[in-house]
Structure 1
Amino acid sequence: MTHGVSFAALPDGRRSTSRVGRQVVADALRGVDPVGARAAEQETAWRSGYLLHFRRLVEAGLATPDAWLAIAGAGLDSVHRNLVVAGDESDDRPLDSLLEAGGTRGLRTAEVTGEGQRQEELVVPYRGRRLHGAGLRDQLLEWARRGVLEPSVVDAVSEVAAHPERLRLDGHTVAVLGAGAEMGPLAPLLGWGATVAAVDLPRPAVWERVLRAGRAGAGRLLVPVAEGAGDPRDDVGRAAGADLLAEVPEVADWLAGLDGRLVVGNYLYADGATHVRVSVAADVLGARVSRARPETALAFLATPTDVFVVPRDAVEQSTRAYVDRSGTAKLVGRPLRWASRGRLLHRAYPPAADPGIADSLVPVQGPNYALAKRVQRWRAAVARGDGRAVSLHVAPSTRTRSVVKNRALAAAFAGAHRFGVEIFEPETSNILMAALLVHDLTADVPPHEHPWQDEAHAAVHGGLWRAAYEPRSALGLAAVLGYGSARG
């Protein structure tokens, strides 16, 4: 039975994700691009046709910062109208009722103090090495040279490495939604001595991992446990956790009562439509906590498999890579493009594009994944526009369990290096992205002229923005070439 944050029910009781997806995209576009809005509304094959409309959301906002923010604001408004709080027997309530609703149970805090030695230096594990100091900077520069990440990453991470005292995030309490996620910053932050409030489902197996990280670290791990559950010190893992889909008020009130400057970080992931639901639940949670604690900062990781605006120098590097590709690549590419009617191995950008549009949407991930991640980008843009502190960075494609269980993606990851794209291991990604979070919370990061530049700043896209080929035109071949390795 559906419970908590969910899609609105149709008269026949169905909760159609495609209907909501079409409606949200159309509503987002309507004020800026009415033709695009109508096209989204009339899309009859949403599960395959959504790619064009999600690209249009970015293209339509490129004209002016106001257009970008208008799309983001209208999209969020539509999300809040088209999702609901589902009750028994289709007794749905408006989503925004969660902003004022009382909880059905209280949560109190169990604290776990780390027993490990604090990591006093930024160290990034990479291919069997532990990079720090000059070695870390050399690798950052090498990644930038190869187009694996944006040059602004080098400066941001180097600044954190030069000021390791910032790693503790003194005075902050970072709420990690999805504390058990592989891409989350839980373990790095605790290792650096930070205070982390962990939020995840009440599943003992999840909390066993989270508590293990808390004890191994050198920080403070704050855990929500049910009031009246007995002494949580007896067995924290069995008393811990909350279901954010159904318990936004409970989690929000718990977070609002914690000490320190709050940072609400969304690192949640779920399969299919549930990903949209948890992303929206986190959005409402962030809004409710921000009302109670106006100084609250927001944090997100953007997926590289989306549509982004990229700077001119990324277009230039991609163009050079296309022009300078090997003779074999040119020889093989021509018949492939002809046989596929231009769908395979075509260049990523028009040579004169300034800025460019990096379209890295992956059809196999589907429209629900795209919508869940776009909600986060919209919230980041609107919050920045309102003057709120926000940390959002594109994180690299990473071999997490949730990704490589998809055989097609696992094969494409295994063959991606042949097309200039680097796939990261989780232990590298989460420390690198945690360091960028620390930078955003402790350094003076001025806003950019246009919101797309905020998204492009310090992006770790793995090479998708600067490789020779448009990613979707190479994805199938990467999967074919990587199939054997993925099976192994």
Structure 2
Amino acid sequence: MSSLSDGLQFPIDPATQKSSSSNVGKEIVAEALSTVDNQTAKQVLNEKNWRKNYPIYFKALVENGIKSVNHPITIAKQGLHKAQHSFDFFRHGQRYSLKDVMNVPITEHIQTITLKGHAQTQPEWFVPYHGQNLKGAALLKQIQVWEDTGIIESSHAQALREAIAHPEWFDLSDRTMVLFGAGSEAGPLTWLSQWKANIIAIDLPNERVWERILKTIQGGNATLYAPSFGKIDDVQNIQELKTKLGANLLTQIPEITQWLCDNPHKLDLASIAYLDGEKHVRVSMAMDSIMSHISEQKPDSSLMYMCTPTDVYAVPKEVIYGATEKNQQRSKLETLLSKSIATVSMQHFFQNNDQQLIHSDNGQAYGIADCLVVEQGPNYALAKRIQQWRATLARHEGQHVSINIAPSTTTHSVTKNPLLKAAFNGASLFNVEAFHPETTNAIMAALWIHDLRNPDSVSNPKTTMLHPLELMMEGANHGGLWRVAYLARTALPFAAIYGFATDKLPIKKVFKKLKK
């Protein structure tokens, strides 16, 4: 756990003199549920094995959210309110509640360093995929394949087709785009740097990270605005710049917020920073604090989030029908083997996906795609849920919000976990596709632009939705996880075994026969 030091921290328990991310997580989820399902909220607080059983309660958030069009707003308001009151911010030994962070005296003002790209090229979009740069007819064909095989939802496919049909959307010289965690491997920096964007990049003071950011900008046609707390003699010298740029989202919340509020332009704010473990919750709260304060001062700002496919979501009933169909289309051998393993393991493995529909008070029925992976942990789930809550509430209050589910991607932060790496390698066993970072980056960057440019996108608060949770349903690229015949986490060990084995043994043909 985090030590008592400057910046955003989990609170210290006076009795133990330690902080507990589990206790804070339980309290936030319980508060979010308290009005819509008080009994489950009490169970959350009494849960003894949060690390193992947290998926039960995150699913309850979605299940209760579906039942009424008002519930997602209530859940989001209460969850965010509790979260804002659950963290501390320290500076020079002085403790502040995170909700009061903007009262912290600003000791240093951020200087803006400007760097323009050298390229004269016009904006262009394509999708790197299996060694090819797909565009035009070739890209349309691949989009159709992904849609037909259930890798992406139809709304995602349609958004990509719209992007192909509107190349003029990609000239971003009229947009000022703020990237929190600009150096993120799954982020859109590379593409924005080729689309004439005005990019405000925020990342830690780290020479390696900033050298990559600076070289990316120099090689493109965009303009970079970077934070610095020190004097820089030569703003064209990358070797000097990389040592003096950067701002810390965890320790410099007031300074970053003020710097961005002082910017005269309309801002598109992208929450893409990632840190491991409990730090992910803290950086999510830091970004949320900054973005909510900016939104109050600059209400025309837009918000952007990327969701993980390994979470639990409300889904259209068509997804449930698709998962049911996949279940019914299994070969006799696969059905027999999976049932046998499920029985022997007492339903720990190959548990059937929940195919029940839940009726909402809007007259519609929705399903649940529970793709949570226990190994990723409750901190990861909470960090992403906080972002969904903010997106839901901000759009409800009239703000433009782009939030889309990105596919499972073989980034370093994922593949450094051996189990997840092997599972992604073996995902094809269950008709799931894990994307390479360059493919995901291209797709998700284009989807963000679609959401900003297309007035009919659900990101636009003027576009009618039947249910607030449809904001996350639209535009989903889950890589096929929503339509897997089994509860994803109960099939994960076998995908991992398959992934390990395919690296060592020629067994793909055997498994293909099994699936026929």
Map of 1:79 onto structure 2: 83
Q: Which residue, 29, 39, 64 being the options, matches 1:35?
A: 39
Is the contact made by 2:173 and 2:195 (CA closer than 8 Å) also made in structure 1?
A: no
Cα distance in 2, alignment partners of residues 48 and 208 from structure 1: 40
Q: Which residue, 336, 353, 361 being the options, matches 1:331?
A: 336
Is the contact made by 2:204 and 2:249 (CA closer than 8 Å) also made in structure 1?
A: yes
Give the C-alpha shift of residue 103 in structure 1: 2.1
Q: Which residue, 101, 104, 122 being the options, matches 2:104?
A: 101
Cα distance in 1, alignment partners of residues 356 and 252 from structure 2: 50
1:210 maps onto 2:213 in alignment: yes
Cα distance in 1, alignment partners of residues 75 and 406 from structure 2: 23
Cα distance in 2, alignment partners of residues 120 and 282 from structure 1: 29
**Tell me, what secondary structure is at the counterpart of 1:85?**
strand
* AA at the equivalent of 1:257: D
Cα distance in 1, alignment partners of residues 128 and 288 from structure 2: 32
Cα distance in 2, alignment partners of residues 67 and 486 from structure 1: 46
Give the C-alpha shift of residue 262 in structure 1: 0.2
* AA at the equivalent of 2:47: E
1:219 maps onto 2:236 in alignment: no
Map of 2:70 onto structure 1: 66
Structure 2: gaps (5+ residues): 359-364, 458-462, 506-516
Give the C-alpha shift of residue 350 in structure 1: 2.4
1:399 maps onto 2:403 in alignment: no
**1:102-154: CA deviations, max 9, x gaps?**
42211121112112343533201111111111111111111011111110111
Map of 1:15 onto structure 2: 19
Is the contact made by 1:172 and 1:262 (CA closer than 8 Å) also made in structure 2?
A: yes
* AA at the equivalent of 1:42: N
* AA at the equivalent of 1:480: I
* AA at the equivalent of 1:247: Q
Q: Which residue, 309, 316, 329 being the options, matches 1:311?
A: 316
Map of 1:418 onto structure 2: 429
Map of 1:477 onto structure 2: 494
Is the contact made by 1:411 and 1:486 (CA closer than 8 Å) also made in structure 2?
A: no
Cα distance in 1, alignment partners of residues 285 and 114 from structure 2: 28
1:439 maps onto 2:450 in alignment: yes
Larger mean CA deviation between 300-309 and 289-298 belongs to 289-298
Q: Which residue, 372, 394, 399 being the options, matches 1:388?
A: 399
1:468 maps onto 2:471 in alignment: no
Cα distance in 2, alignment partners of residues 352 and 204 from structure 1: 51
Cα distance in 2, alignment partners of residues 252 and 222 from structure 1: 15
* AA at the equivalent of 1:146: T
TM-score (norm 2): 0.91
Map of 1:45 onto structure 2: 49
Alignment of 1:55-454 (within 5 A): 55-87=59-91, 91-234=94-237, 235-350=240-355, 354-444=365-455, 445=457, 446-454=463-471
Larger mean CA deviation between 186-195 and 74-83 belongs to 186-195
Cα distance in 1, alignment partners of residues 418 and 184 from structure 2: 20
Is the contact made by 1:32 and 1:60 (CA closer than 8 Å) also made in structure 2?
A: yes
**1:271-312: CA deviations, max 9, x gaps?**
100000000000000012112211111100011111001111
Give the C-alpha shift of residue 236 in structure 1: 1.3
Is the contact made by 2:114 and 2:235 (CA closer than 8 Å) also made in structure 1?
A: no
**Tell me, what secondary structure is at the counterpart of 1:125?**
strand
Structure 1: gaps (5+ residues): none
Is the contact made by 2:96 and 2:104 (CA closer than 8 Å) also made in structure 1?
A: no
Cα distance in 2, alignment partners of residues 18 and 83 from structure 1: 13
Is the contact made by 1:315 and 1:356 (CA closer than 8 Å) also made in structure 2?
A: yes
Is the contact made by 1:411 and 1:483 (CA closer than 8 Å) also made in structure 2?
A: yes
Is the contact made by 1:244 and 1:282 (CA closer than 8 Å) also made in structure 2?
A: yes
**Tell me, what secondary structure is at the counterpart of 2:185?**
coil
1:217/1:486 CA distance change after superposition, 3 Å: farther
Cα distance in 1, alignment partners of residues 115 and 233 from structure 2: 16
Q: CA RMSD in A?
A: 1.6
Cα distance in 1, alignment partners of residues 311 and 122 from structure 2: 34
* AA at the equivalent of 1:475: L
Is the contact made by 1:412 and 1:482 (CA closer than 8 Å) also made in structure 2?
A: yes
Is the contact made by 2:115 and 2:236 (CA closer than 8 Å) also made in structure 1?
A: no
**1:12-37: CA deviations, max 9, x gaps?**
32111111011001111001110010
TM-score (norm 1): 0.96
**Tell me, what secondary structure is at the counterpart of 2:294?**
helix
Give the C-alpha shift of residue 349 in structure 1: 3.0
Is the contact made by 1:171 and 1:261 (CA closer than 8 Å) also made in structure 2?
A: no
Give the C-alpha shift of residue 259 in structure 1: 4.3
Is the contact made by 1:319 and 1:349 (CA closer than 8 Å) also made in structure 2?
A: no
Is the contact made by 1:121 and 1:132 (CA closer than 8 Å) also made in structure 2?
A: no
Map of 1:459 onto structure 2: 476
Cα distance in 2, alignment partners of residues 48 and 469 from structure 1: 19
Larger mean CA deviation between 172-181 and 107-116 belongs to 107-116
